[in-house]
Amino acid sequence: MGYHDSVERSAEYLRLALPLMSKQAAALNPICYAVWYDYVSGRNAALKKRIDELTRDGSPLDDEATAELFHCHVAEVDEKLAQRVSQDFQKIMADVSKSAAEAGSDAGQFGNALEKWSADLAQATDADATNLAVLLGQTRQMQHSISSLKNRLDESQLEIDRLRQEVARARQESLADGLTGLTNRRGFDQALTDCLTAKDDSGHGPCLLITDIDHFKHINDSYGHLFGDKVLRAIAQVVKDSVKGRDTAARYGGEEFAILLPDTPIEGAQTLAEQIRTKVERCRIKRSGSENAIDAITISIGVTVHRAGEAAHEFIARADGALYHAKNQGRNRVAVAPAAA
**pLDDT tens, position by position, 145-158:** 666 666 666 666 67
For the question of residue 255 being annotated catalytic, the response is yes
DSSP, residue by residue, 82-151? HHHHHHHHHHHHHHHHHHHHHHHHHHHHHHHHHHHHHHH-TT--HHHHHHHHHHHHHHHHHHHHHHHHHH
CB 88 within 8 A of CB 48: no
Q: Is 250 exposed, middle or buried (0-12, 13-18, 19+ CB in 10 A)?
A: buried
Q: CATH 3.30.70.270 residue ranges in the chain? A: 185-336
Query: Is the pTM here over 0.85, yes or no?
Result: no
Q: Is 199 helix (H, G, I), strand (E, B) or coil?
A: coil
Q: Specify the DSSP class assigned to residue 296.
A: P
Q: 213 phi and psi, to 5 degrees?
A: -75, 125
Please list, in sequence order, all residues whose beta carbon lies within 8 angstroms of the beta carbon of residue 299, skipping any fewer than 6 positions away: 211, 212, 213, 214, 235, 276, 277, 280, 281, 332
pLDDT, tens digit (0-9, with 9 covering 90-100), for 211-250: 999 999 999 998 889 999 999 999 999 999 999 999 999 9
Q: How far is CA 233 from CA 46, 113, 114, in A?
A: 46, 71, 73
| CATH superfamily label, 185-336 | Reverse transcriptase/Diguanylate cyclase domain (3.30.70.270)
Catalytic residue among 53, 173, 255, 314: 255
Alpha helices in 175-289, H assignment, sequence order: 185-197, 216-223, 225-241, 266-282
CB 146 within 8 A of CB 109: no
Spatial separation of the C-alpha atoms in residues 194 and 63, rounded to whole Å: 34
The pLDDT, as a whole number, for residue 217 is: 93
The pLDDT, as a whole number, for residue 139 is: 65
Q: 179 phi and psi, to 5 degrees?
A: -80, -45
pLDDT, tens digit (0-9, with 9 covering 90-100), for 142-201: 666 666 666 666 666 676 677 667 666 766 777 889 899 999 998 999 899 999 988 666
Q: Which residue has the higher pLDDT, 304 or 253?
A: 304
